[in-house]
């Protein structure tokens, strides 16, 4: 695995980061890249995933990282994960939420159970992690980075109403928390990636679809996981100390097209 797109630095030296959805079954995912990037920037990292084995695959690439199992849809599981990370590191400076699942399909085909699951994974789970982490973040005057999607602000050409709606909710949840806790020194921002060439994306698309996704990007090429990871490092760092309640679009300009 290459991390050539992440320049080692001390931008987050002395900080601790908790990355929910930081594991990977194979290949390289957005959450895994973020965990590696935080570590490359000097942070101590807790990698949290519903699969402990997947979390450990990420931790194997990071010196001093900690793997923690937690189901983001289970409130008690999240509470235990945050408590464990705080115990290991003594503080939490950065909370990174990467859990999210696209659910393509016709609107009329979705059941109420589908809606509840989609919102639980894409929005409510992040509310749970933020609620549990905020006491620690207030003490450390820390930062929250939530990974959303440009699907929250525009139709992407794919019918996934649950994903669109739940990621839009995550955007406004991020803004609400950012403004409520700004006076306490906590910042909260969201990253809205566009088309990314990822393992998950390639698993869902044919070679022709991938080529078309490249053509759809104004740059002629999709982004990758490191584009999101670099944005996360910036938002978590002191360089972004006056950036709060912001929805940072990382899409090569795609969302500005008509």
Q: pLDDT tens per residue, the chain (258 residues)?
A: 344 478 899 999 999 999 999 999 888 999 999 999 999 999 999 999 999 999 999 999 999 999 999 999 999 999 999 999 999 999 999 999 999 999 999 999 999 999 999 999 999 999 999 999 999 999 999 999 999 999 999 998 889 999 999 999 999 999 999 999 999 999 999 999 999 988 766 655 666 688 888 888 899 999 999 999 999 999 999 999 999 999 999 999 999 986
Give the pLDDT of residue 201: 62
Q: Are 125 and 72 in contact (CB under 8 A)?
A: yes
Q: Are 33 and 2 in contact (CB under 8 A)?
A: no
The pTM for the full model equals: 0.94
For the chain, which residues make up each domain, given as ranges? 16-197+224-250
Q: Are 54 and 24 in contact (CB under 8 A)?
A: yes
- With CA atoms as reference, report the closest residue to 37 among 225, 174, 244: 225
Give the pLDDT of residue 203: 59
Active site residues: 163
Give the pLDDT of residue 7: 84
Residue whose token pair is 């990007």: 217
Residues whose CB falls within 8 Å of the CB of residue 170, separated by 6 or more in sequence, listed in order: 122, 123, 126, 146, 148, 152, 190
Give the pLDDT of residue 257: 86
The CB-based long-range contact list for 198-203 (8 Å cut-off, 24+ gap) reads: 198/27, 198/28, 198/29, 198/30, 198/224, 198/225, 199/24, 199/26, 199/27, 199/28, 199/29, 200/29
Please, which residues bridge with residue 192 across strands?
A: 249
Domain 16-197+224-250: give its CATH superfamily: NAD(P)-binding Rossmann-like Domain (3.40.50.720)
Distance, in Å, from the CA atom of 4 to the CA atom of 230, rounded to the nearest integer, reads 12
Give the pLDDT of residue 27: 83
Task: Provide the phi-psi class of 11: left if phi over 0, else alpha when psi is between -120 and 50, else beta.
Answer: alpha
């Amino acid at each position: 695995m290459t991390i050539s797109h992440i320049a080692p630095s001390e931008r987050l030296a002395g900080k601790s980061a908790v990355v929910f959805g930081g594991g990977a079954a194979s290949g390289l995912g957005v959450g895994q890249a973020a965990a590696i990037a935080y570590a490359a920037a000097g942070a101590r990292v807790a990698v949290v995933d519903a699969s402990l084995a997947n979390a450990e695959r990420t931790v194997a690439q990071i010196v001093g990282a900690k793997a923690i199992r937690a189901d983001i849809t289970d409130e008690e599981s999240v509470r235990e994960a945050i408590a464990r990370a705080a115990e290991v590191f003594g503080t939490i400076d950065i909370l990174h939420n990467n859990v999210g699942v696209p659910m393509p399909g016709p609107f009329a085909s979705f059941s109420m159970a589908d809606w509840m699951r989609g919102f639980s994974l894409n929005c409510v789970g992040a509310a749970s992690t933020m609620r549990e982490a905020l006491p620690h973040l207030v003490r450390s005057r820390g930062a929250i980075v939530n990974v959303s999607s440009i699907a929250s602000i525009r139709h992407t050409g794919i019918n996934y109403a649950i994903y669109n709606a739940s990621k839009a909710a995550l955007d406004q949840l991020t803004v609400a928390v950012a403004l409520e806790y700004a006076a306490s020194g906590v910042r909260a921002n969201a990253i809205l990636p566009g088309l990314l060439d990822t393992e998950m994306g390639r698993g869902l698309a044919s070679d022709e679809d991938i080529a078309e996704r490249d053509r759809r990007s104004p740059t002629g090429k999709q982004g990758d996981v490191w584009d999101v990871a670099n944005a996360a490092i910036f938002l978590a760092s002191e360089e972004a100390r006056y950036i709060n309640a912001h929805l940072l679009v990382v899409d090569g300009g795609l969302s500005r097209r008509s």
